[in-house]
Amino acid sequence: MSVLDRLGQKLLFAFDPETAHGLSIAALRCGVPVGAPATRDARLNVPVCGLDFPNPLGMAAGYDKNAEVPDALLGLGFGFAEVGTITPLPQAGNPKPRIFRLPADDAVINRLGFNNEGHAAAEKRLAARKDRSGIVGVNIGANKDSSDRIGDYVRGVALFAKYASYLTVNISSPNTPGLRNMQAREQLGELLSRVMAARAAATAQPPVFLKIAPDLVEAELEDIAAEVTEKRIDGVIVSNTTISRPGLRSGDAARETGGLSGKPLFERSTIVLAKMRRLLGPDRAIIGVGGVDSAETALDKIRAGADLVQLYTGMIYAGPSLPSRVLSGVVRFVEKERLKSICELRDSRLDFWASKQL
């Protein structure tokens, strides 16, 4: 971590997590130079779903919930940025406090509950950047009190298809009651059918990804893979936060309810990723997320079957220069191994990760 990153972290950690998050968004929005952009290297290019990603590292959903700073995130070196989760109507989310830092574990627990400004606010911002370059995905969700949650996703597809480089259907947050039940096969089949019909009817047809939870057993993964294949979903994002608490050291905060992200999520999310790669085969796109905080963890996701990787919590602890440092490490690895493309690494440890027990 650079001296600037350490100073920035010390300043932000003086505030509660939500205030610190708001300050970081404001800094990016105002163009404050908070990180060093990564050097472009053609060996890091990854073609996925008809999109040419300049590198495999993306900013995960959850940071830029309202599509305020996607271009500033790309300026930090990310190959792509995912905004959201965005619901049709604005909602405040769950009561505060609802974000808890676990510094002894390099982790965070959140129970935010899809707090966001809604479709209209995000659409206005995305429309303003429509002609800009850069890959920006839009993560869509359902309102907590919606009487038609599938309809909420359909509305999201219809509205954002013309702005999004890709769309993510997020049914895996643990902080909206009953949302994860949509991963069950019958509900999932109906959801995906209607989502794909909405995309077909839209003015543009971006790739559609399904974001899944890490807290699934193998039979559930098999059902999800079958529906993804049958409905011709373009890809899967593995994974969201976990409700498990694997060996945490952070005391009282570790007992808070909500989704756990960061370093403790790496092992399980990578196992789920590899098992999903085996189930889906070599051609379906997978984005790996969960515990990525270094070049090595990013490379491990790719070795386990990911085409692309995302991070978020890692940057809370390592600072905004993390994307540049990760990518510099990946370039050094590519040079050392004399790879012509980072894509050559994918699946090289698939059997190792897929054989592990959940």
The residue ranges of every structural domain in the chain are 3-354
d(CA 298, CA 306): 9
Is pLDDT of 250 > 90?
Answer: no
d(CA 170, CA 143): 12
In this structure, are residues 213 and 238 in contact, taking their beta carbons and an 8 Å threshold?
no
Active site residue 261: no
Q: What is the mean pLDDT of residues 23-34?
A: 86
Window from 30-39, 119-128, 169-178, 290-299 with minimum mean pLDDT:
30-39
Run of H or E residues at 4: helix 3-12
Q: What is the dihedral of CA 121, 122, 124, 126, to 10 degrees?
A: 170
Give residues with Cβ within 8 angstroms of 259, minimum separation 6.
109, 110, 111, 173, 174, 175, 240, 241, 242, 243
Catalytic residue among 173, 261, 269, 294: 173
pLDDT on residue 149:
97
Is pLDDT of 186 > 90?
Answer: no
pLDDT on residue 39:
74
Coil, strand or helix at 7: helix
* Of 122 and 36, the one with more pLDDT: 122
Closest of 9, 48, 56, 12 to residue 292, by C-alpha: 56
In this structure, are residues 323 and 34 in contact, taking their beta carbons and an 8 Å threshold?
no
Q: What is the mean pLDDT of residues 136-154?
A: 98
Q: What is the mean pLDDT of residues 318-329?
A: 94
pLDDT on residue 19:
87
Compute the mean pLDDT over every residue in the chain, rounded to the nearest whole number.
94
pLDDT on residue 16:
81
User: What confidence tier does 6 reach under pLDDT thresholds 50, 70, 90?
Assistant: low
In percent, the amount of the chain with pLDDT more than 90 equals 87
User: What confidence tier does 11 reach under pLDDT thresholds 50, 70, 90?
Assistant: low
**Site of tokens 């890490």:** 214
In this structure, are residues 205 and 96 in contact, taking their beta carbons and an 8 Å threshold?
no
Is pLDDT of 152 > 70?
Answer: yes
pLDDT on residue 278:
99
In this structure, are residues 136 and 145 in contact, taking their beta carbons and an 8 Å threshold?
no
pLDDT, tens digit, 9 for 90 and up, residues 254-307: 899 999 999 999 999 999 999 999 999 999 999 999 999 999 999 999 999 999
Q: Which CATH number is correct for 3-354, 3.40.50.300, 3.20.20.70, 1.10.10.10, 3.30.70.120?
A: 3.20.20.70
pLDDT on residue 254:
87
d(CA 105, CA 39): 30
Is pLDDT of 4 > 60?
Answer: no
Window from 126-130, 171-175, 251-255, 322-326 with minimum mean pLDDT:
251-255
d(CA 350, CA 335): 22
